[in-house]
Amino acid sequence: MTGKFNLFFRVLKKRPDFMLGYIIVFLIIIIAIFAPLFAPFDPIKSDAKNYLKAPQWPYLMGTDATGMDVFSRVLYAPRVDLAIALLGTLLSAVLGVILGAIAGFYDGSGKVAGFGSAFIMRSADVVQAFPVFVFAIAVVAVLGQSIQSLVMAIAFVNAPIYLRLMRSQCLSIRRMRYVEAAYLAGTSDIKIILAHVIPNSIAPLLAQLSVNIGWAILLTSALSFIGAGVEAPTPEWGSMISMGFQNIVTGHWWPSIFPGLALAVTVLGFALVGSSIEILADPVRTRKLLLS
C-alpha cells in the first residue's frame, strides 16, 4: 500500500494541476458539508429592500432580483448539486456494472443467458440512440419533477457507459488463464465475477466515476436551468443562473456569473481528479509521465 501511495505522490509532484483538482474537490465537499457555518445569510430568505445590489460588503457576490444573497446561495448549492450527481452516478455505476458483468460473462454463450446478454446490449444501443439531454428530460417528464427523478435521469443516461466498460473488461478477463483454472476447479460464475472480474475492473471504473460526477453536475444544473430540475428558491447553480438570466442584459451580471463560475471550477476539479486516476490506473502511462 505504501508503494501505491508513493506512486500517487510522485505523480502529483509531476503534475501539480492534478493536486489542484484534489484541492478543489476537497474544498467543495467541505463547503457543502459546512455551508451553514460559512454562509453569512439565509440562502432562501429574500430581502425586498436590497435587490440586485452589486457585489459589496456584506453581499460579497451581490444580491439577486428577489434580494437573496448570491454568495450564501453559491455556498449552499453544492449540497444539492453534489448530492444529486453523486447518487445518480453511483446508481448508474451499480446498474451498469451488474448488467455489464452479465452481458460480458455470458456473451456468445448459448441458452437463455446468451440471449439475455444480447438483449442487454441491444437495449443499451436503443438508450444511446436517443440524444442524451432529451432522454434525461423525458425521464424527468415521466417521473415528475423532483430530486429523485433527477437522480434517476442521471443513472439511466450514464448506465450504458459503465455497462460497456464492464462488458469489455469482462470479455478480456474471462479469457485469462487463472479464470479458466478457477472455472475448471468448479468455482461458480457469481464467485468468478465477484472475486476476479470486479476487482480487476476497479481502476478504470474509478476513473470513469470521477469524470462522470463532473458531467452529472453539469447535467443537473443544465436540467435545472431549463426548469426541469431543482426548482427555485432551492439554492442550486443551474437554477440560479436561470434566475439571473433576465438581469444580464440590463447589466446586472452577478446573479448568473458567480454560480456559473463555481459550477465550472467544481467540474474542472472532478475532471482533473478523473484524469489523474486514469493515468494511475494505466501503468504504461504512469511510467511515461514519471520518466518525462
Partner 1 sequence: MKRLYLFLGKRLIFVIPQLFGITLVSFLFLQLIPGDPAVLMAGPFATPSVLENLRAELGLDKSLFEQFLIYISNVLRGDLGNSWQTTRPVAEDLLQRFPATLELIVLSLLLALAIGIPLGRAGARLKKGVTRRTADYYGLFAGALPDFWLGLVFIYIFYTVLTIVPAPLGRIDFFIIPPPSVTGSLLIDSIIDLNFAAFKNAVGHLILPVVTLGLINAGPILKMTQATMERMLDEDFSKYGALCGLPEKVIARKAFRNSLPSVITIVSVLFGFLIGGAVLVEIVFSWGGAGQYAVNGVLNADFNPVLGFVLVSAVFSLVIYLIVDLLYFYIDPRTT
Residue 250 makes contact with partner 1 by CB under 8 A: yes
Least gap, CB of 135 to partner 1 (angstroms): 8
Least gap, CB of 57 to partner 1 (angstroms): 23
Out of 46, 50, 187, 275, point to the residue binding partner 1 (CB under 8 A): 275
Residue 131 makes contact with partner 1 by CB under 8 A: yes
Residue 122 makes contact with partner 1 by CB under 8 A: yes
Cell 486516476 locates to 277
CA distance 77 to 45: 15
Count of H helices and E strands in the chain?
A: 13, 0
Nearer CB in complex with partner 1: 6/246: 246
Residues 35-74 that bind partner 1 (CB under 8 A): none
Out of 25, 120, 267, 277, point to the residue binding partner 1 (CB under 8 A): 267
Angle between helices 283-291 and 254-281 (to 10 degrees): 100
Q: Is the peptide bond before 199 cis (omega within 30 degrees of 0)?
A: no
Nearer CB in complex with partner 1: 23/141: 141
Helix (H, G, I), strand (E, B) or coil at 228: coil
Give just the sign of the alpha carbon dihedral 7, 13, 17, 23. Answer: positive
Cell 474544498 locates to 27
Helix (H, G, I), strand (E, B) or coil at 223: helix
CA distance 100 to 161: 9
Residues in binding contact with partner 1, number by CB under 8 A? 46
Nearer CB in complex with partner 1: 170/269: 269
Residues 169-228 that bind partner 1 (CB under 8 A): 214, 218, 221-222, 225-228
Residue 138 makes contact with partner 1 by CB under 8 A: yes
Report which DSSP code applies to 69.
Answer: B
Nearer CB in complex with partner 1: 10/285: 285
Residue 260 makes contact with partner 1 by CB under 8 A: yes
Residues 114 and 108: beta-carbon distance below 8 Å: yes
Report which DSSP code applies to 53.
Answer: P
Residue 137 makes contact with partner 1 by CB under 8 A: yes
Residue 289 makes contact with partner 1 by CB under 8 A: no
Neighbours of 90 (CB within 10 A): 17
Out of 10, 245, 285, 290, point to the residue binding partner 1 (CB under 8 A): 245
Residues 75-94 that bind partner 1 (CB under 8 A): none
Neighbours of 261 (CB within 10 A): 13
Binding site for partner 1 (CB under 8 A): 17, 122-123, 125-127, 129-135, 137-138, 140-142, 144, 214, 218, 221-222, 225-228, 238, 241, 245, 248-251, 253, 256-257, 260, 263-265, 267-268, 271-272, 275
